[in-house]
A and B are shown apart, each in its own frame.
Chain A
Amino acid sequence: MRHPLYAIYGVLILGFIGFAEYNGWSLTRVNEVKNIPRTVRDNPGAYRSHYAGYYRYFGGK
């Protein structure tokens, strides 16, 4: 093997990708919220979403 370091590097890259794919890693992030009260189930309107009221321009051309 002419490039043992590159071979190790390649194994690490493929291993990392396999691990990331298997565990469902993603480059996108979502806001993680802890301890959401169980009452949300009964009163969904009581929950204040981080994204609620986040108004955007949606106009067409």
Chain B
Amino acid sequence: MSQQANCPNCGAAIRFRWSGAVQTTCEYCRSILVRRDVNLEKVGQVADLPPDVSPIQIGTEGVYQDKAFQVVGRILYDYKDGAWNEWHVIFQDGKSGWLSDSQLEYTVSFLGTAPEPLPQSGQINHGRKFNWNGTTYDVTSITRANYRGVEGELPFEYWDKEHATFADLRTEDGRFATIDYSDDPPLLFFGASVDFDNLKFKNLRQLDRLGGGEKTAVAGLNCPGCGAALSISAAGHTLTVACPKCHSILDAKDPNLQVLEKFQARQAIDPLIPLGSRGKLFGTEYEVIGFQERTTDVEDVPDSWLEYLLFNRYKGFRYLTEYKGHWNFVQTVPASPEHVRSGKKGGVRFMGRTYKAFASALATTTYVMGEFPWRVHVGEKNGTSDYIAPPRILSNEITEGESVWSLGIYMPGTEIWQAFQLPGQAPAARGIYLNQPAPFAGQASSMWGASFKWLWALIFVAILFYAFAGRETVFEKRYSFSPRSGAEASFVTDTFEVRGHPSNVEVSISTDLDNAWAYFSLALINESTGQGYDFGREVSYYHGRDSDGNWTEGHRNDSAIIPSVAPGRYYLRVEPEMGKEAMSMLYTLEIKRSVPSAAFFWIGAVLLLLPPLRATWRVAKFESKRWSESDQAES
């Protein structure tokens, strides 16, 4: 069949974007047309589709894994918590795929082959694991959906459906699979979650980037409970609205805003960021549309944090959480992180990063205000588990058997104030928050790197000194001494010249002592100034054999360093001394100037290591305080 045909119902021209299309719809009379051999046959009529809040439309183009695609058709479903589109996309190589947008979260998937028979819809349950092609997939949600209509070109006939069940599965790294029970046997699709920006869309529907578009304008309403003016910015996505005046929770899907419940607030809470505020975070403009307080009650001590719901019509929902001046920018992640051991603690692995288990608690929603894309309920309890890899936090919430993971990144309050142009200053952060980055963490590691460079520099300087130090022998002479001779022991050496700049002088004594000791009273005296350096050195050397074997003690040689000796002519006064029982000894005196000393290099090494050691200590102290708040034992 050619790329063009005529509608058998109204005669309008039908132009196919994809030659493989089995079904299409007439844009004029909205007939559902199916290819029968070379002809088009009308098989049904498209019902009026509900107002669309998706930015995608037939003809939208994008890129996935470096391949361009075009949207050529769609199937629309709804379920108890909203609606979603399965957009049929055709890639430049003719391959057919599916782009799903559910609450502005996007996945791309392709029909795959199950390596094993798939379970029937009644046999599948949340948490069940499948291993396909070496990858583990967890069932994260099972959705009973209603077929709401079709549009454009599809790769199969799809027009007479009512209900369909879908099981969504995730991997720890964001890969995705769906078991589609709308057909028998069920179909299996493999794909991945994709960020809006990465899809590089063109030809999107022109929507107000925040508030809505032609069909999704901000709705101005009045609370049926108190008459207060309300607005719905995320029309089409919002399921409940909480009136900030009378605390009624309203059904946003009901044209009359039916009151679902009314809660008693302990006290009204003024959000630090007012509802309706707009701010740019990470390059995207968001509007604050909802606010809730959630409270844990550990050992009868209530502890609350605040959550601000942010909305962008193209990129969906994000959250800002605030606890004692600590802020996190949070978004849900379509993944099922793998549980691992992280050191002695439990943890999870997500996108190549390990997060340590920090705390688990039961959180209760205690205050709500504004719009929510879920059926918010004060008093609702969710199990929460937090895993940290500062500045990131990965949180898991379990609700009615559904497991939702979200990824947060720590933000200073000043950045929030700047982004939303809030008056005044952000409240100062108190205490240490679980994923607050240690202020010296980066500093410590980089300082260690710098310290090793300085240590290399120090070694280089040491090598230079040892290589080029003078070690100039200025005097050397051999003497003998006998204590039994009765002669005056003291004597002075010949004078010798110490040249050059002030430097140290090393006086070395080498003896032939054998099981004897000697003591030398020494004075290095400047011949012209009379300035002297007075010092003594003992030398003793003993050896023998006992029941433990051979032993030795002491040395026959010794030396002394005289610091900073000015140049000039010197002589040495020597007064040897030995025990009266000793016979005699021969000894040599050697005097050298400018002898390198290792002591200062060792001191330098220690001094260079002090700053990184201090930074590391501060990090350790910070981490100790952080983990003191954890319910994860260190052991």
Contacts and interface: CB of A to CB of B under 8 A. Distances in A.
B564 to A, nearest CB: 5
Contact of B608 (A10, A20, A36): A10
Given A2-B450, A14-B604, A60 B534 contact: no
A24 to B, nearest CB: 3
A44 B493 CA distance: 10
A10 B447 CA distance: 11
Give the interface size bracket for A toward B.
35 or more
Given A3-B450, A6-B447, A49-B536, A17 B523 contact: no
A25 B562 CA distance: 9
A54 B502 CA distance: 30
A53 to B, nearest CB: 8
B443 A3 contact: yes
A12 B560 CA distance: 28
B224 interface: no
A40 B531 CA distance: 12
Contacts of B517: 58
B531 A34 contact: yes
A14 B607 CA distance: 10
B446 interface: yes
Contacts of A36: 523, 525, 530-532
Contacts of B563: 24-26, 28-30
Determine which residue in A7, A16, A51 has the highest number of CB atoms from chain B within 10 A of its CB, and name it. Answer: A51
Contacts of B571: 41
Interface stretch (B8-16, B209-217, B484-492): B484-492
B458 A14 contact: yes
A59 to B, nearest CB: 8
Contacts of B461: 14, 17-18
Given A3-B450, A24-B505, A47 B611 contact: no
Contacts of B527: 41
| In the A-B complex, the 5 residue pairs with the closest CB atoms | A60-B542, A51-B536, A24-B504, A58-B517, A26-B563
A52 to B, nearest CB: 5
A33 B600 contact: no
Interface residues of B, number: 67
B5 interface: no
Nearest to A33: B532
Interface of A: 2-3, 6-7, 9-10, 13-14, 16-18, 20-38, 40-41, 44-45, 47, 49-52, 54-56, 58-61
Contacts of A52: 521, 536, 575
B450 A13 contact: no
User: Does more than half of chain A's interface fall in helix, strand or loop, or is it mixed?
Assistant: loop
15 contacts: A13-B607, A14-B457, A14-B458, A14-B604, A18-B461, A24-B503, A28-B560, A30-B535, A32-B531, A33-B531, A45-B488, A49-B573, A49-B575, A54-B521, A58-B540
Contact of A33 (B502, B515, B534, B597): B534
Interface string B567-606: 0000101010001000000000000011011011101100
A60 to B, nearest CB: 3
Contacts of B531: 32-36
Contact of A31 (B490, B535, B597): B535
Given A24-B505, A25-B564, A61-B546, A54 B608 contact: no
Given A40-B525, A44-B492, A60-B544, A23 B501 contact: yes
Contacts of B546: 61
Contacts of B551: 61
A7 B450 contact: yes
B398 to A, nearest CB: 42
Interface string B524-568: 010100111111101010111010000101100000111111000
Given A25-B504, A47-B523, A58-B538, 14 more contacts: A2-B443, A6-B447, A10-B450, A13-B604, A17-B461, A22-B503, A30-B533, A30-B562, A31-B534, A33-B534, A36-B530, A41-B571, A56-B519, A61-B551
Nearest to B523: A49
A10 B90 CA distance: 62
A20 B600 contact: yes
Contact of A51 (B447, B503, B534): B534
A17 B458 contact: yes
B110 interface: no
A24 B498 CA distance: 13
Given A13-B607, A23-B564, A49-B575, A41 B534 contact: no
Interface string B481-517: 0000000111110000000011111000000000101
B634 to A, nearest CB: 31
B521 A49 contact: yes
A32 B532 contact: yes
Contacts of A37: 530
Contacts of A45: 488-490
Given A13-B608, A24-B594, A40-B573, A30 B492 contact: no
Nearest to B488: A45
B491 A26 contact: no
B537 to A, nearest CB: 9
Most buried by A among B451, B525, B534, B551: B534
Nearest to A29: B563
Contacts of A21: 465, 469, 596-597, 600
Nearest to A5: B611
Contacts of B447: 3, 6
B20 to A, nearest CB: 57
Given A30-B535, A44-B573, A60 B553 contact: yes
B35 to A, nearest CB: 65
